[in-house]
Every structure is written in C-alpha cells, then in structure tokens.
Chains A and B, each alone.
Chain A
Amino acid sequence: NAGVMQNPRHLVRRRGQEARLRCSPMKGHSHVYWYRQLPEEGLKFMVYLQKENIIDESGMPKERFSAEFPKEGPSILRIQQVVRGDSAAYFCASSPSGGIANEQFFGPGTRLTVL
C-alpha cells in the first residue's frame, strides 16, 4: 500500500517559467491538501480539494497559482511565471475524507528552487 506520492522531488525553474507539481494520494483517499513550507518555517495551508472540486482555496495566492484534482490522475499544483519567493517545499497530504477522525498523511514533498 503505497503512501502519498509526489513528483518531482526536486524542481528547478528560472523566473517566469511554469512549475507543475503532482500528488497522488494514498489508495482509497479522495481528499487532498497542499501546504507550502518556506525554509526554517512551518507549513502553511494552500488548498483543499476533493475529486473534481476545490473545497477551500483560502490559502492560495489569487494570481499565478492554481490547483486541480481531476477524476482520473494526480492532483496538480500549478505555479505560473514563478518568482524567487516561490522557492519552498510543497507538501501534499491526503485523507480518506475530510472528517475530524481522519489523519492527513503527507507526501515526501517537492522542493522548488527558482533561479
């Protein structure tokens, strides 16, 4: 039973390019959360998705950032026209549902470096 998978593990982009981060939740999990972690800081919530629905995007910048979780395939976090301030570790987590009883399992993260 594979855990949460993320790819790529490391991503280097130049300013102005696009970054696409992928997250495959654990088998049987239909809820995905994206968090961003700046160096030496805690995790900040970005967006919460269920299959084909964005439930809460209150932590995601309105511009340049978008997220999706299609019916088939992984969840994608997309950052357009990246800037140096986007450099961070991006973690996704999954849970079987959004209820209180369910632990969020984290993936290994994607470390984005913007040159």
Chain B
Amino acid sequence: GENVEQHPSTLSVQEGDSAVIKCTYSDSASNYFPWYKQELGKRPQLIIDIRSNVGEKKDQRIAVTLNKTAKHFSLHITETQPEDSAVYFCAARGTGTASKLTFGTGTRLQVTL
C-alpha cells in the first residue's frame, strides 16, 4: 500500500520568513496530493491540493510543488504569520476505487514573533 513520509516533524520560523515542508510517497500510481492544516482540537482543513498532471500550484502565500519522477511534493508558505501556527499534514491518494487518503505524520509549525 501507499506510504507517505513527512519532514520535518517540527518547524519553527520567525514571522515573515518562509516555511517548507516536504513529503515523499511510495505508490507511483498516486495522483492526488492534498495538504491539510489542523489547529489544536480542530478538524483538518484543506489548504491546497495538486493533481499529478500539474507540477506547481499557488494560492496567495501558499504553494505546492510536485515531482512525480522523484515521488515527492512540498508545501511552501511565504511571509509566515502567527496564525499559520498549526500542524500540517500532507496526504496522497491512489487511483481506482482506492479513494482513501494516506497521511503523513504531520509537521508542527510554530511562527514566532
């Protein structure tokens, strides 16, 4: 089955700096890669996603890149703000009837003033 690895597990940046979180996946057939943000005690919320026919996608301060050959994808947050502090999860989904998401282990991002 699919295996998703995520690094780093914790990340501390100063406000205004950029943050990068990286994930690798094992199943070359996976074709959908969402990123979720989860604040303490809250539900995971989708912040951006990318499909395998696209190499990069950007939404304001957030961007995601995908390298299918290397089977890795990354989340980039620019001009970080304190409200970006949360746990971020990457995920991958395969094809066919396997619609489940396989999640990474999460990255706790702390944006300090």
B43 touching A31, Cβ below 8 Å: no
B97 CB within 8 Å of chain A: yes
Task: Give Cα A78 to B32, complex, Å.
Answer: 30
By beta carbon, the residue of chain B nearest A100 is B32
By beta carbon, the residue of chain A nearest B9 is A40
A91 CB within 8 Å of chain B: yes
Q: At the interface with chain A, which of B14-22, B57-65, B75-83, B100-108?
A: B100-108
For A43, give its contact among B98, B99, B103 (CB under 8 Å).
B103
Min distance, Cβ A90 to any Cβ of chain B, angstroms: 12
For B98, give its contact among A31, A56, A109 (CB under 8 Å).
A56
Interface string of A75-115 (1 = CB under 8 A from B): 00000000000000001000100111001111111000000
A28 CB within 8 Å of chain B: no
For A103, give its contact among B31, B34, B97, B105 (CB under 8 Å).
B34
Task: Give Cα A114 to B32, complex, Å.
Answer: 35
B12 CB within 8 Å of chain A: no
By beta carbon, the residue of chain A nearest B89 is A42
For B93, give its contact among A41, A42, A91, A100 (CB under 8 Å).
A100
A108 touching B49, Cβ below 8 Å: no
Min distance, Cβ B105 to any Cβ of chain A, angstroms: 5
B89 touching A103, Cβ below 8 Å: no
B46 touching A100, Cβ below 8 Å: no
CB-CB under 8 A for A104 and B101, given A42-B89, A43-B44, A43-B89: yes
A69 CB within 8 Å of chain B: no
Cβ of A108: which chain B residues have Cβ within 8 Å of it?
A: 42-43
Interface residues in B34-77 by Cβ distance below 8 A to A read 34, 36, 42-46, 49, 51
Cβ of A58: which chain B residues have Cβ within 8 Å of it?
A: 1, 100
CB-CB under 8 A for A107 and B43, given A41-B105, A42-B105, A100-B31: yes
Task: Give Cα A9 to B80, complex, Å.
Answer: 31
B97 touching A98, Cβ below 8 Å: yes
Task: Give Cα A89 to B34, complex, Å.
Answer: 21
Interface residues in A36-58 by Cβ distance below 8 A to B read 41-45, 48, 55-56, 58
